[in-house]
Amino acid sequence: MPADRPARQQRLDVPLDETLSRHATKPIADEVNETQLRDWYRPLDLLPGGVETVIGADSTLAATIDRIMHDTGLCRQTRQRGICSPNPSPAQTHFVDLGDAVRTRLVRETYAPR
């Protein structure tokens, strides 16, 4: 990221029960057990200084990407070029091209919150 732009950090806040449910659907579920996850889990383990934007577990993939695009100003920049959808659908695939600065591909939501 260029030095003249602020860095952005996002934290997905997923409660332990939801983390365990999501983990059970993943290919590595047999390799990493529930005891290990419980030991590693730290609720809202944020960096000091309030530098992270917290995204709730109920945020869909499309809503999360939309928020990040707007918070960073990337959607505004790409919309000026006519290539950013203001409300991307999770069932669509969008390509956002900012040249060498950023290449982002929004994909279909796989693990949707319940």
| 84-93 pLDDT, tens digit each | 555 544 444 3
pLDDT over 90, % of the chain: 23
User: Does residue 20 form part of some domain?
Assistant: yes
User: Does residue 112 form part of some domain?
Assistant: no
User: Does residue 77 form part of some domain?
Assistant: yes
pTM, whole model, 2 decimals? 0.54
User: Does residue 44 form part of some domain?
Assistant: yes
pLDDT confidence of 79, banded at 50, 70, 90? low
User: Does residue 70 form part of some domain?
Assistant: yes
User: Does residue 111 form part of some domain?
Assistant: no
Between CA 75 and CA 58 the distance in angstroms is: 22
User: Does residue 59 form part of some domain?
Assistant: yes
Q: How many structural domains does the chain have?
A: 1
pLDDT at 17: 94
Residue 100 pairs with which residues in a beta bridge? none
User: Does residue 33 form part of some domain?
Assistant: yes
Range of the structural domain that residue 36 is part of: 9-106
